[in-house]
Amino acid sequence: MAMTRKEIVQNLNKIGLTKNQANAAVDTFFEKIVEALKEQKKVSIVGFGTWEWRDRASRIARNPKTGKAVALGTRKALVFKPSQLLKNKLKG
């Protein structure tokens, strides 16, 4: 089961923030990440991971319905790379 935005707000509420403060904090946090990504900036959270845009080369793909070859041009893809600290926490 996925952790939801609501659960994040509830956890912030447990550490003393009011529900409105917690909502505002979560909203601002995600808005700033989205803003930076829209500007094609790299977003790095120490101890968690990094989101960045990477160039993907053009290639030939297949339409699964028709089997016809389709040329895909170069494009940017958003990727997330977890930090080593996060990887270690997930292993242990």
The model's pTM is 0.77
Are 11 and 25 contained in the same domain? yes
83 in Cβ contact with 47 (< 8 Å): yes
Are 27 and 3 contained in the same domain? yes
Are 48 and 86 contained in the same domain? yes
HSE-CB of 39 using CA atoms within 13 angstroms: 8
Cα separation of 76 and 81, whole Å?
Answer: 16
* Structural domain of 29: 1-39
Cα separation of 39 and 51, whole Å?
Answer: 12
Q: pLDDT tens for the chain, 92 residues: list them.
A: 899 999 999 999 999 999 999 999 999 999 999 999 999 999 999 999 999 999 999 999 999 999 999 999 999 999 999 999 999 999 97
Q: What is the CATH number of the domain that holds 73?
A: 4.10.520.10
Angle, alpha carbons 17-21-26 (nearest 5°): 105
